[in-house]
A and B are shown apart, each in its own frame.
Chain A
């Protein structure tokens, strides 16, 4: 009989996007408090590059980066170049990335803006300064449930083959 090895769960990976140096440091620290692995970038285009989505003129080509698995994206709304909203839209338009939960951060409490983001598929809209209590709300979007059931399935299949 073989040794049963527990699959090692890798830490949940959050991609943080903010053009402000200070806010990037803050969000990184907040996320690390919850033991998430964090990648922080300073623009929407760098975020897309990291995710493997190249924006060539108007045609988006996707070449998945096998090294990268992102479980949640948290982005500032007001950024030069691509706004957080535009980044959200591009992610939702991509068949490969649309299931990654996206959260928006903003210093502005503008109801029409908040609604627009939520309607476009953002899971949450946090008002800055983002607090520990906000990051705590990310837990349901970062639950290991999906991954756990996949592993269970594999284990059951292996068991069945051994039983024969």
Chain B
């Protein structure tokens, strides 16, 4: 029986695994679209990934995680300040988070930012606190799901590399 170059796993089994992984990824993506967590802008990001830019999606998402967590910390810090109500700064950070969420297709996070912004404009502190909690929760969910997506993707690429060593693989 033919064996995979490094793992010793029979080739036919590796092939089967790749199909299942792709199905898993598509299923997860479908779910996220259905839930309104992601929109078609995410597909645009995938379209921009090719051999000249093979890690484009993960690079962009990594920037998104970094920027978003910074903005979330800023928002929490501003809201917890009992003495000041810096609605200008709140607005700035919200707009930035909204913009970057929209740029990667994070539809639900973006929409919560819009609602949050409404609460800021009404000077409704308690509504703002609630919005922040929902925002942090949604962001966590998004981050976990995107990590899951990348893990499946990595497994698939690794599987491809083992089956076809030496071939340049498109993610």
Tell yes or no: A63 within 8 A of B by CB. no
A29 CB contacts on chain B under 8 angstroms: 48, 53, 56
B103 to A128, Cβ gap below 8 A? yes
Mark B41-68 against chain A: 1 for CB-CB distance below 8 A, else 0.
1001001100011001001100110010
Which of these binds chain B: A18-26, A50-58, A81-89, A154-162? A18-26
Given known contacts A30-B48, A107-B98, A21 and B103 CB-to-CB distance under 8 angstroms: no
Q: Is A78 an interface residue (CB 8 A)?
A: yes
CB–CB A129/B56 < 8 A: no
What mask results when residues 84 to 123 of chain A are scored 1 for a CB within 8 Å of chain B, else 0?
0000000000000000000000010000000000000000
**Contact flag A128-B48 (CB < 8 Å), given A22-B64, A26-B60, A29-B53:** no
Contact B63 A25 (CB under 8 A): yes
**A132 sits at the interface (CB 8 A):** yes
Q: Is the CB of B100 within 8 A of A22?
A: yes
Cβ of A133 to closest chain B Cβ, rounded Å: 10
Are A20 and B41 in touch, CB under 8 angstroms?
Answer: no
| A162: min CB distance to chain B, Å | 43
Please report the C-alpha to C-alpha distance between residue A21 and residue B60 in the assembled complex, in whole angstroms: 9
For residue A131, CB closer than 8 A to chain B, the reply is: yes
Contacts of A26 in B (CB 8 A): 48, 60, 103
Cβ contact within 8 Å between B102 and A107: yes
B111: CB under 8 A from chain A? Answer: no
Is A33 part of the contact surface with B, judged by Cβ < 8 Å? yes
Contact in complex: A128, B47 (CB < 8 Å): no
**A78–B100 touching, CB < 8 Å:** no
Neighbour of A20 across the interface among B44, B52, B56, B96, CB < 8 A: B96
Chain B, residues 102-115, CB within 8 Å of chain A (1/0): the string is 11110000000000
Q: A21-B63, A25-B60, A131-B44 are in contact. Are A107 and B99 (CB under 8 A)?
A: yes
Chain B residues with CB under 8 A of A23: 99-100, 103
Q: Does B171 contact A (CB under 8 A)?
A: no
- Residues of chain A contacted by B59 (CB below 8 angstroms): 25
Expressed in whole angstroms, the Cα–Cα distance for A78 and B60 within the complex equals 21
A140 to B95, CA, bound (A): 32
A33 to B45, CA, bound (A): 12
Interchain CB contact (< 8 A) of B104 among A22, A30, A107: A22
| Leading 6 A-B pairs by shortest Cβ distance | A22-B100, A22-B63, A129-B103, A129-B41, A29-B48, A107-B99
* Residue contacts A-B, CB under 8 angstroms, 22 given: A20-B67, A20-B100, A20-B103, A22-B64, A22-B67, A22-B103, A22-B104, A23-B100, A23-B103, A25-B63, A26-B60, A29-B56, A32-B52, A32-B53, A33-B48, A107-B98, A128-B103, A129-B41, A129-B105, A131-B44, A132-B44, A132-B47
Please give the residue numbers on chain B whose beta carbons come within 8 Å of chain A beta carbons, in ascending order.
41, 44, 47-48, 52-53, 56, 59-60, 63-64, 67, 95-96, 98-100, 102-105
